Copies of this chain bind each other. A is one copy, B any other.
Amino acid sequence: MVQPKAKAVHYKTIPAQEVGEEAPGSTISWLIDGPKDGAPVYALRMIEVAAGGHTPDHTHSHEHENFVVEGRGRVRLGDEWHAIEPGYVILVPPGIRHQYQNTGDTTLKFLCGVPVER
């Protein structure tokens, strides 16, 4: 376990990685993580979804805590879809099917927290 290290950087200085073929147009940047930063319990990522793109349609046993920073889209929470825009806060409970879709013309950007142990 890495000891937590103080950090204050702009998120754009942190490299973005392609999420993969299940999430066309989507990248993930690990803003605060366990292995590098020593996050004690929670990791914070920035997800960026290009116009027309989406995140995986999936379900897993850990939660997400999301906050929309830029762009417009919608999020599936179980059987319901919710329109989202900057300032929206979303709790995706464990075990709930979820997906983010960009429904706008610009990049959808949102923070996505997950437990370090998952």
Chain A residues near B (Cβ < 8 Å): 3-12, 14, 31-32, 37-42, 44, 62-63, 65, 67, 69, 75, 77-78, 80, 82, 84-85, 87-94, 96, 111, 113, 115
Task: Name A115's closest neighbour in chain B (CB-CB).
Answer: B41
The residues of B that contact A11 with a CB separation of less than 8 Å are: 67, 87-89
The residues of B that contact A44 with a CB separation of less than 8 Å are: 65, 67, 89, 113
Task: Name A29's closest neighbour in chain B (CB-CB).
Answer: B89
A40 to B115, Cβ gap below 8 A?
Answer: yes
Task: Name A113's closest neighbour in chain B (CB-CB).
Answer: B42
The residues of B that contact A84 with a CB separation of less than 8 Å are: 8
